[in-house]
Structure 1
């Protein structure tokens, strides 16, 4: 089975397609000064972009892992998530509090999807 890598870097790829499964890396916002809603929107825009490059879309998302630096911002993140997620196609999902790799980042999202 072939493996397709998208946006390949020295350390990681933004997405990897293996068979009929798409794996997105943990994605963060480009503008770390944005609030949780803004960062979540930026990330979900990236998710849409990488899923499209892989030949799929958000209606095929299987699972999502979400990390927040402050779990009390869960409802703010969910407001953006709920407006984005495909109705009737909600994935398995976990959301936890964790420190993120760079200062200012508040949200990180990792997705797996079917093609």
Structure 2
């Protein structure tokens, strides 16, 4: 089975496709609030999935990292406004120290083609 890498950088690829599975690198967002960062990051997820030939209705799993679990409800509101309610993926949310202090949320997505 072949592996296809898109948006390849020195440290990572933005998209890796193996067979019928798409793996996205973690997506963070810009903005001051968790809502702003979620909207930005999830728009990037949409863009990357489209580049891989799929969309959010085919997401299999999402791992969500919050820098502070007190932002869980705000993140959920942004997530629920974005995700297709008929095609919700398996999901886990954890608190983690993110790559830079300005980041409040990160999404890691695995999807089917």
Q: TM-score, normalised by structure 1?
A: 0.95
Structure-1 residue corresponding to 2:39: 41
RMSD of aligned residue pairs (Cα, Å) = 0.8
Structure-1 residue corresponding to 2:17: 17
C-alpha separation in 1, matches of 2:6 and 2:36? 24
Structure-2 residue corresponding to 1:52: 50
Structure 2: stretches of 5+ with no match in the other structure: none
C-alpha separation in 2, matches of 1:22 and 1:71? 28
Structure-2 residue corresponding to 1:110: 108
Structure-2 residue corresponding to 1:6: 6
C-alpha separation in 1, matches of 2:38 and 2:4? 26
C-alpha separation in 2, matches of 1:45 and 1:34? 16
Q: Which segments of structure 1 move beyond 6 Å, counting only runs of 4 or more? A: none
Q: TM-score, normalised by structure 2?
A: 0.97
Structure 1: stretches of 5+ with no match in the other structure: none
